[in-house]
Amino acid sequence: MKSDLEKEKKEILNKYHGLLRDCSRRELTKKQKKVIRKAFDVALEAHKDMRRKSGEPYIYHPIAVARIAAGEIGLGTTSVVCALLHDVVEDTELTLDDMEKMFGPKVASIIDGLTKISGVFDSTSSLQAENFRKMLLTLSDDVRVILIKLADRLHNMRTLEVMRRDKQLKIASETLYLYAPLAHRLGLYAIKSELEDLGLKYTEPDIYKLIQKKLTDSKQERSRYISRFTIPVKESLRDQNIKFQIKGRTKSIFSIWNKMQTKDVEFEEVYDLFAIRIILDSYQKEEKADCWRAYSIVTDFYKPNPDRLRDWVSTPKANGYESLHTTVMGPKGKWVEVQIRSERMDDIAEKGYAAHWKYKEGSEASALDQWINRIQELLENPEPDALDFIDDFKMNLFSDEIFVFTPKGELITLPAGATALDFAYEIHTQIGNQCIGTKVNRRLVPLSSELKSGDQVEVITSIKNRPKEDRLKYVITARAKSKIKASIKAEQKKAAVDGREILERKLKNLKINADVANINKLLQFYGIRDSQDLYYRVAIGNLDLKKLKEFTQEQGSIKTSPTKPKSGKSLEELVKRTRGKSDTLVIGEELQKIDYKLAPCCNPIPGDDVFGFITINEGIKIHRVNCPNAIQLMSNYAYRIVKARWTNQELIAFLAGLKITGIDDMGIVNNITKIISTDLNVNMRSLGFDSEDGVFEGTIMLYVHDTTHLTDLITNLKKVKGVSRVERIH
């Protein structure tokens, strides 16, 4: 036992020295070393009796988070101190006041921000969303809060294997839903990729292992190809006295999986498995010219694809990313992506804004500051529904950018997919609200027209115009959506004043007082959440006020209201009844009395890894763990998820779909259907085959008993001559 403790002490010191090495890239002063040592000692003492799920001393975690902050994000001493202490206030007796006394107000403020957002994903969806808004608000105080939070999440993901399966799924889903896009938006490419890969490792373990194995098997072949591709380029760069280094970077497992899904191709068909990166040692003033010189050299040897040139050197992305990308035809007829950038650009691409600060000149506002201001603007308006806000915001995190121009030639950056109406709101809220039409490249277009890079946009306005609900369908940016909702709310507020007068007159005629108690009874009766909504509905004639005559009253107070049909079981009762004593929902014979349905979005069948989701109106819906909607459900509504497993099924048939592709041949459809109905006694519900240029594609909906039954069927179908692919469809 003693020797184990000695080993642990030694290991803790090793990790601490590793942290100092990670920090020393910034040349630490004696004072800085002293404050890091002090933070380490405080954290070590505070967490001395605590252990992680793996059984390791808890202090391993804060040291690891501090190492990620220093070594992988490139943050300085203050951040390292905060990373070491990030769990102290939440998990031990020490308070924020103690932190301030020991380390000063800045450290205390960052730790306060970290403590506030540690519960971003909590028991209820709206709370999560509210906390998420709070988390983003702390961005404006100090972006380091978010960067340390990302380091914390990365270490948790790296050590996730010791957690229970349901915990792994929840944490991995949140990571893919929110943290990876946030890292992407802050320009932390390396961390974003690792978070995505680790998220996939736990949400789709089989797919992750398969792609990982295929990458390992093809590694040597890739290295040989990269070497062959770069030899002439290197020689030419040296001849022109350009200082450079060349790296071959393999696509992340998550991006490969994403490509396989979006393009509907197999691993072997993903052509851009790797990119070649040319990193130039340039002075900042000469970077742009040097990048184009290198581009010219590459295209002397390999023909470029004109549609695949991306110039983020002239117009960097909103997250600060600068690089020149081109796709060229390499040896053996393979397309190869080449990325050309300077060392400064590479630093920013890998470490995001932490590196940006190193190069920032004077008082010029960086794109990050503009981004934070934009978020602040969105958050200051508390009207939009918080969950909508997360979804809108998340969508804007993921999107690529387009660059469009005002009539005066000013450049405006918008997310890809933005419309002419989004552009109007980007210019000014009032212009968006008063917009009645738009011209793109001098031609009148609908407000919903999607803009493309290089478009010049003019907005036509009218003072009388007010946005209506349907305008929400014409925009994709979070800014435009929140402004439209705010404007509609303001209009509703105005209408509610008239509605209040109408209702009060009506109540007066019926000798009912318009006091708070009576209004609350009306809200309950009509099923409306607040009085403003009630008055608004009265104003637009959306409520049946004739019902008021059926209310009985005594001395102006409502005594009883007309009876309404009783609704079914409440959500709480359903949860209690479903969960029973254990926390597992068993699907099968024991659940016949409970109202549950199989979700149509993923059609689970016995044998699939599943979970139950408690809906408000339709009882429990059973989803597959890899259902397209699972990540969002698990992230936003964790409190409504119930674990589920199948019990032995009687021979009940479940609907499943198959997609079959192959070479069109005489009698192939007959051979396929013969196997399905005759050899395996399977009933088909629908069958569709389409043939083009000698290739056929068929979709079959059929009834199977479980995953084993389906797997056998797929195996037998693959044996049919001419069939190249058989896969299950969602």
Number of other CB atoms surrounding residue 459 within 10 Å: 22
Mean pLDDT across 487-516:
85
Percent of the chain with pLDDT over 70: 82
Residue 720 pLDDT greater than 80, yes or no? yes
Task: Yes or no: say if 108 and 117 are a contact pair by the CB < 8 Å rule.
Answer: no
Q: Would you state the structure tokens that stand for residue 306, as one six-digit string?
A: 């004109």
How many residues in total does the chain contain? Answer: 730
Q: How far is CA 222 from each of CA 218, 227, 275, 542, rounded to the nearest angstrom?
A: 6, 9, 11, 66
Q: Please state, rounded to an integer, the average pLDDT across all residues of the chain.
A: 80
pLDDT of 567 above 50: no
Delimit the domains of the chain by residue range. 2-162, 216-358, 571-644, 654-729
The more confidently predicted of residues 207 and 619 is 207
Please give the CATH topology (third level) of the domain spanning 2-162: Hypothetical protein af1432 (1.10.3210)
Assess contact for 490 and 429: CB atoms under 8 A: no
Backbone CA torsion sign across 571, 572, 573, 576: positive
pLDDT (0 to 100) of residue 157: 93
**Does residue 404 surpass a pLDDT of 80?**
yes
Lowest mean pLDDT among 88-97, 401-410, 430-439, 552-561: 552-561
Q: How confident is the model at residue 201 (pLDDT cuts 50, 70, 90)?
A: very high
Nearest to 401 by CA among 247, 236, 185: 185
Say yes or no to pLDDT of 595 above 70.
no
Say if CB 122 and CB 135 are below 8 A apart. Answer: no
Using DSSP, state whether 527 is helix, strand or coil: coil
Percent of residues, the chain, with pLDDT higher than 90: 16
CA dist., res. 416 & res. 476, Å (int)? 9
- Between 410 and 302, residue with greater pLDDT: 302
Rounded to an integer, the average pLDDT of 687-713 is 80
Residue 492 has pLDDT above 60, yes or no: yes
Specify which residues 660 forms β-bridges with.
698, 726
Q: How do residues 127-167 score in pLDDT, each as one tens digit?
A: 455 555 555 655 555 677 888 888 999 999 999 998 888 88
Answer yes or no: are the C-beta atoms of 689 and 681 closer than 8 Å: no
Residues 6+ apart with CB under 8 A from 339: 249, 275, 276, 277, 278, 323, 324, 325
DSSP-derived letter for residue 660 is: E
Say what the pLDDT of residue 209 is.
93
Contact 206, 179 (CB under 8 A): no
Residue 700 tokens read as 């079959």
Cα→Cα distances 413→182, 393, 405, 442, 604, Å? 19, 16, 9, 20, 42
| pLDDT score of 568 more than 50 | no
**Whether residue 640 has pLDDT greater than 90:** no
Annotated catalytic residue within 90, 269, 690, 712: 90
Beta strands 435-440; 457-461: pairing state: antiparallel
Has 286 been annotated as catalytic?
no
Confidence of residue 418 (pLDDT cuts 50, 70, 90): very high
- Return the higher-pLDDT residue of 516 and 682: 516
232 or 377: which leads in pLDDT = 232
Q: Which of 332-336, 566-570, 639-643 has the highest mean pLDDT?
A: 332-336
CB within 8 Å of 221: residues ≥ 6 apart: none
Catalytic: which of 8, 11, 56, 91?
91
385 vs 182, which has greater pLDDT? 182
Interval 239-244 mean pLDDT: 89
- Architecture field, domain 654-729: 2-Layer Sandwich (3.30)
Give catalytic status of residue 290 as yes or no: no
Q: Mark residue 681 as left, alpha or beta (left: phi above 0; alpha: psi -120 to 50; beta: remaining).
A: left
The span from the CA of 693 to the CA of 703, in Å, is: 31
216-358 belongs to which CATH class? Answer: alpha beta
Q: How many C-beta neighbours within 10 Å does residue 400 have? A: 11
